[in-house]
Structure 1
Amino acid sequence: MNLQSPKVTVDKSPQEVFEFLSDVKNFEQLMPDNISKFEVLGEDKFLFALKGMPEIVLKKKEAVAPHKIVLGAAGGKLDFSLTGDIQETGAEQSEVKLTFEGEFNAMMGMMIKGPISKFIETLASNMPKAIN
C-alpha cells in the first residue's frame, strides 16, 4: 500500500523543515485532534494513539539532510514507513509531501486505507502553522 499526502508549502528553508521533522517530539504538534496519547520514548522514537486505533510506535530510520526523513514502525504487528520529502521551492520556502508505505493483507488494507489517508493529510496540513 502506498498513500501520499497532498504537497504543502511551508515558509521555511528545507533545512529548517528537516530539523523540525528530525526532532520526534515535534510530531505532537502535527497530530490530529482525535489523538488520545503521545509519548516520546527516546531521541528517535515516539508512541501515539488515535481514538479507536491501537498504539503505534514510530522510530526514525533514515535522515538525509535536508531533503528526506523516514520514520518506520518500531515493533508491533504492522510494518510500514512514513517518509517526508522536502523540496526547496524558493528562498525560505519548501514543499513537503508525506508518503506512507506498508505491506498489508487485503482485509487490513481496506480497513486502514481511509484512516491512514486522513492521518497523513492532517500531518501535512498542520505543518505550515507548526513549523515557525
Structure 2
Amino acid sequence: MNLESPKVTIPKSAEDTFTFLSDVKNFEKLMPENISKFEVLDNDKFLFALKGMPEIVLKKKESTPPNQIVLGAAGGKLDFSLTANITAIDDNTSDVKLHFDGEFNAMMAMMIKGPINKFIETLASNMKTAV
C-alpha cells in the first residue's frame, strides 16, 4: 500500500527542515491531537500511540541530507516505512511530501488506509508551524 501526503511548503531552508525531522523527538510536535502516548526510546527511535490504536515504534532507517529521511517500523507485526522527501525551493523555503509504503493483506489495508492517510496528512500539515 502506497499513500502520499499533500506537498506542504515550509518557511525554512531544506537544511533546517532536514535537521528538524532528523531529531525524532520533534515528531511529537507533528502528532495529531488524539495522541495518547509519545516516548523517545533512543536517538533514532520513538514510540507513539493514537487513541484506539496500538502502539507503534518508528526508527530512523536512513537519511540523505538535506533531501530525505526514512523512518521504518521497528518491531511489531506491521512492516512499513514513512519517507519525508524534502525539496529546496530557495534559501528560505522548502517543500515536504510524506510517502507511506507498507505490505499488508487486503483486509488489513482496507481497515488502516483511511486512518493512515489522515495521520500522514496531519503530520505534513503540522510541519508548516512546527518546523
Q: CA offsets, 1:67-101, max 9 Å, x none?
A: 00000000000000000000011231000000000
Task: Extract structure 1 runs of 4+ deviating beyond 2 A.
Answer: none
Structure 1, unpaired ranges of 5+: none
Does 2:52 align with 1:52?
yes
Task: Give the aligned residue type for 1:42.
Answer: D
CA RMSD of aligned residues (A): 0.4
In structure 2, the gaps of 5 or more residues are none
Which amino acid is 1:33 matched to? E
TM-fit CA distance, 1:10: 0.2
In structure 1, distance between residues paired with 2:12 and 2:99 = 20
What is residue 68 of structure 1 aligned with on the other side?
68
Q: Give the TM-score normalised by the residue count of structure 2.
A: 0.99
**Residues in 2 aligned to 1:18 and 1:58: alpha-carbon distance in whole angstroms:** 17
TM value normalised by structure 1: 0.99
Query: Greater CA deviation, 55-64 or 88-97?
Result: 88-97
- Look up the match of 1:25: 25
Indicate the residue corresponding to 1:84 in structure 2: 84
